[in-house]
Amino acid sequence: MELALSDDQVQILDAIDTLAKPYASVPIHDISFALTSAELTRELAEGGFLDVAAMEELGPETAALVVERLARLPFAVEAAASALVRPLLDSELPRPLCLIEEGALGRAVRYLAPGATVVMVGSGGVRSFVATADHVAEAHDESIFAYPMAVLKAQPAEADLRQYNVPASEVLTQWRIGLAAEASGLMAAALAATVTYTSERKQFGLPIATFQALRHRLAEAQVVTNGAYWMTMKAAATRDSGDAALAALHAQEAARRVTYDFHQFLGAMGMTLEHPLHLWTYRLKALTSELGGRGANALAAAEAIWG
Amino acid sequence: MNFDWTPEHQAFRERLRAFLKAELPDNWESIAHHGPGSAEITAFSRQFCGRLAAAGMLFPHWPVSMGGKGLDAWYQTILAEEMWAAGEPRGAQYMNVNWIGPTLMKYGSEQQKKTLLPPIVAGNAIWCQGFSEPNSGSDLASLRTRAVLDAGEYVINGQKIWTSYAGLADNCFLLTRTSDDRKRGITILIVPMDTPGITVRQIPSIIGEGDIHEVFFDDVIVPESARFGDEGQAWEIISYSLRNERLGIPRYHLARAALDRAVALLKARGDWKGEAVKIEAAKAAALTETARNACYAIVDKRVKEQPIGPEASTARYNVVMAERAVSEFVVEYLPQALIDAEPYLKMHHQRGIVAGIASGAAEIQLNIIATEVLELPREAR
């Protein structure tokens, strides 16, 4: 048992904080529903932060830490699939990586755009292709989930898909770990933003965070957010399919529990684009539907634990 | 990070399991059935703990100077997990190992150490903690049981309530009021439970036998030497001693063991089918494992001798959620007769209510998290 971060891990997270400093807040007057930065993404890739999983002394657990930390930024960065799944397949695959379950044609996919690598996982194994404009439906609406998203309308012929020898189950495990790591960071950031707001906002002459009706629910949010972090770290360390399914399940349960509360506590401010809360909470909403949602992750966990 | 046990930790767990297998009698389930506070387990524990001590496994984590082996806090955790999963044959004596012994060593007078430690070390000492009162629960510092020093003797008058194990205890670690200063007016007295003037009444409960009592003190007289620490030092001492007590019982482990047992029974009955039962079982497991990880994070800090802060409250609240989820699962998916017939499931069903109340109500944990972890502005009172 060793549950503290290594010196290397602390240094990597510090380096991310330094690099991401200019991106730690929302540009003034920006009211994007999905905030992204090509510059930030480029800097992270060049700094090798998304490739730490392949380094033996760092591994998936450091990758999960990186994903969790980046998810706290208001800017969306495709980190989870790149940091946790790409090393299993081919570390040169063009980014961003879009993970989809087989048969997901017609669904909106996070970060999907021409040039992205689409990785399909399912009973047919693990296959990928690089998306072109032919595969991606024109975005007629902005995403409703605070991620850049587009609908996958077509895929190449079977013969044109790249097939991998990696079992689908391994990819699913890393996907779940990435999902849990990202959700943990999103919840931590959303909680912090809500704590700040409720500590400053006064009604009846007092900060509204002095009222127990909010305090206890915020404290419960801290409990489940902290839990999501530890479940993620355990799954990343053990790489066990049951641990990963439990981590994803807990993250989705927790996300569901906190997102409406956070907006509620901001009152009408929580309905605006002026406050950045939605950048984290609406990403959380997107993550709660991934991998079949809570029910499917729970079934995967039950299968792994009890058979 | 590494979530694996070391070979030494694993070997210790195996030794404990082998010891339990060899030492628990064939009719152990019928004894365990009564619960850790019961007369049956208490009587059993007076023999069992002695044998555990002889095998060097009663308090492996105590320093060598106290007769322990100076092993890290993971050993205490493993010990607790294995004992509780077996129905806690140590009975109430787990408290001695967790905090009463170490507190005696740190704050006791030479005389107190000489008389009180040997029975604990021999595995034959039952203690109760006289803390809560009818009007002092979460607000413990408002307690009113009065001790007046008069000519070298303390005269104690008042009432304690919810006192675990009081009916069979040899000694009480009693909080008394010696002055009106809210916290600095509280003094610890160590009171033998057979002192005249003490009346113990078990409170009929839904959580099992021997767990909760009323204890009345009517002109109970003890010598001044029964005082533990200085007058007014109680708050400091219990803050030190109980730092780890929120995690004293490895409830995450018990909850998971009960859940695994429930699933095994469902499978044996052919009822482990369909999605609903599996989804709910996994949700409960997610909570037991979240609680386990949160508790382990604290043990890890103890091993490194880092201060334990409000994260203990976060871990405790996780434990409350886990206990309840497993209890709810058991009640929802297993027939009543089966719960009743399975000692550990029955115990879980009975005691799922306890985690949120004992050692500080769940709401108090949330208050601590709000103020000390989230650093929200303090609430108006």
CB B172 within 8 A of CB B130: yes
- Parallel, antiparallel, or unpaired for β B127-130 and B171-177? parallel
Nearest to B83 by CA among B61, B115, B52: B52
Which residues of chain A have a CB within 8 Å of the CB of B309?
none
Residue B208, classed as helix, strand or coil, is coil
Which residues of chain B have a CB within 8 Å of the CB of A245?
282
Q: What amino acid occupies position B82?
A: E
A24 inside domain:
no
A44 inside domain:
no
In chain B, the residue whose alpha carbon lies closest to the alpha carbon of A7 is B1
What are the boundaries of each domain within chain B?
7-125, 128-233, 250-373
A90 inside domain:
no
CA–CA separation, A78 and A118 (whole Å): 13
Which residues of chain B have a CB within 8 Å of the CB of A306?
260, 263, 267, 272, 278, 281
Of A222, A230, A246, the CB nearest to B374: A222
pLDDT in tens, chain B (381 residues): 999 999 999 999 999 999 999 999 999 988 988 888 899 999 999 999 999 999 999 999 999 988 899 999 999 999 999 999 999 999 999 999 999 999 999 999 999 999 999 999 999 999 999 999 999 999 999 999 999 999 999 999 999 999 999 999 999 999 999 999 999 999 999 999 999 999 999 999 888 777 899 999 999 999 999 999 999 999 999 988 877 666 678 999 999 999 999 999 999 999 999 999 999 999 999 999 999 999 999 999 999 999 888 999 999 999 999 999 999 999 999 999 999 888 788 888 888 888 899 888 999 999 999 999 999 999 877
Q: A81 to chain B, minimum CA–CA distance in Å?
A: 21
Which residues of chain A have a CB within 8 Å of the CB of B304?
4
Q: What amino acid occupies position B257?
A: A
For B39, B57, B111, B115, B126, the CA distances from B119, given in Å and listed in that order, are 19, 16, 14, 8, 9
Of B294, B317, B378, the CB nearest to A230: B294
A130 inside domain:
no
Class assignment of domain B7-125? mainly alpha
Are A198 and B370 within 8 A, CB to CB? no
What token pair was written down for B376? 């929200």
Which residues of chain A have a CB within 8 Å of the CB of B314?
222-223, 226
A128 inside domain:
no
What pLDDT does residue B216 have? 98
Of A3, A212, A226, the CB nearest to B300: A3
Are B1 and A237 within 8 A, CB to CB? yes
Domains in chain A: how many in total? Answer: 1
* Chain B interface disruption, residue of A187, A197, A230, most B CBs within 10 A: A230
Of B278, B304, B374, the CB nearest to A218: B374
Q: How many angstroms separate the first and last alpha carbons of chain B?
A: 42
Phi/psi at B219 (5° precision): 50, 50
Q: What is the DSSP letter of B142?
A: G
Q: Mapped to the 3 state alphabet, what secondary structure does chain A carry?
A: CECCCCHHHHHHHHHHHHHHHHHCCCCCCCCCCCCECHHHHHHHHHCCHHHHHHCCCCHHHHHHHHHHHHHCCCCECCCHHHHHHHHHHCCCCCCCEEEEECCCCCCEEECCCCCCEEEEEECCEEEEEECCCCCECCCCCCCCCCCCEEEECCCCCHHHCEEECCCHHHHHHHHHHHHHHHHHHHHHHHHHHHHHHHHHCEECCEEHHHCHHHHHHHHHHHHHHHHHHHHHHHHHHHCCHHHHHHHHHHHHHHHHHHHHHHHHHCHHHHHCCCCCHHHHHHHHHHHHCHHHHHHHHHHHHHHHHHC
Q: B226 to chain A, minimum CA–CA distance in Å?
A: 41
CB atoms within 10 A of CB B57: 19
CA–CA separation, B379 and A42 (whole Å): 45
Which residues partner with A97 through β-bridges? A117
Of A2, A212, A216, the CB nearest to B1: A2
Nearest to B52 by CA among B96, B6, B116: B96
In chain A, the residue whose alpha carbon lies closest to the alpha carbon of B73 is A1
Class assignment of domain B250-373? mainly alpha
Residue B4, classed as helix, strand or coil, is coil
A107 inside domain:
no
pLDDT in tens, chain A (307 residues): 999 999 999 999 999 999 999 999 998 888 778 899 999 999 999 999 999 988 888 899 999 999 999 999 999 999 999 999 999 999 999 999 999 999 888 888 999 999 999 999 999 999 999 999 999 997 655 678 999 999 999 999 999 999 999 999 999 999 999 999 999 999 999 999 999 999 999 999 999 999 999 999 999 999 999 999 999 999 999 999 999 999 999 999 999 999 999 999 999 999 999 999 999 999 999 999 999 999 999 999 999 999 9
Are B282 and A249 within 8 A, CB to CB? yes
Are B366 and A215 within 8 A, CB to CB? yes
Which residues partner with B2 through β-bridges? A2
Are A219 and B373 within 8 A, CB to CB? yes
Answer whether B7-125 and B250-373 agree in fold: no
Are B379 and A305 within 8 A, CB to CB? no
For A220, B107, B310, the CA distances from B234, given in Å and listed in that order, are 31, 10, 21
Q: What is the DSSP letter of B224?
A: G
Q: What is the DSSP letter of B181?
A: S
Of B260, B278, B374, the CB nearest to A219: B374
Q: A176 to chain B, minimum CA–CA distance in Å?
A: 14
CA–CA separation, B196 and B239 (whole Å): 30
Are B300 and A199 within 8 A, CB to CB? no
CA–CA separation, A129 and B238 (whole Å): 63
Q: B246 to chain A, minimum CA–CA distance in Å?
A: 15
Task: Tell the residue number behind the tokens 């299968």, with chain if given.
Answer: A303
Are B282 and A246 within 8 A, CB to CB? yes
Are B314 and A222 within 8 A, CB to CB? yes
A194 inside domain:
yes
Q: How many angstroms separate the first and last alpha carbons of chain A?
A: 27
A31 inside domain:
no
Burial class of residue A170 (count of CB atoms within 10 Å of its CB; 0-12, 13-18, 19+): middle
Angle at B6 between CA B1 and CA B7, to 5 degrees: 155
Q: B164 to chain A, minimum CA–CA distance in Å?
A: 28
CA–CA separation, A56 and A53 (whole Å): 7
CATH number, domain with residue A261? 1.20.140.10
Chain A, 25 to 64: residues with Cβ < 8 Å from chain B are 61
Class assignment of domain B128-233? mainly beta
Residue B137, classed as helix, strand or coil, is coil
In chain A, the residue whose alpha carbon lies closest to the alpha carbon of B300 is A3
Nearest to A82 by CA among A37, A44, A39: A44
Are B3 and A219 within 8 A, CB to CB? no
Of A207, A227, A298, the CB nearest to B377: A207
Provide the H-helix boundaries in chain B: 7-23, 28-32, 39-54, 73-85, 94-95, 101-107, 110-121, 234-241, 251-269, 275-303, 311-333, 336-341, 343-351, 362-368
Is residue A96 reached through a cis peptide bond, with omega within 30 degrees of 0 on the bond before it?
yes
Task: Tell the residue number behind the tokens 């693990």, with chain if given.
Answer: A126
Which residues partner with B278 through β-bridges? none
Are A234 and B293 within 8 A, CB to CB? yes
Q: B149 to chain A, minimum CA–CA distance in Å?
A: 41
Are A306 and B378 within 8 A, CB to CB? no
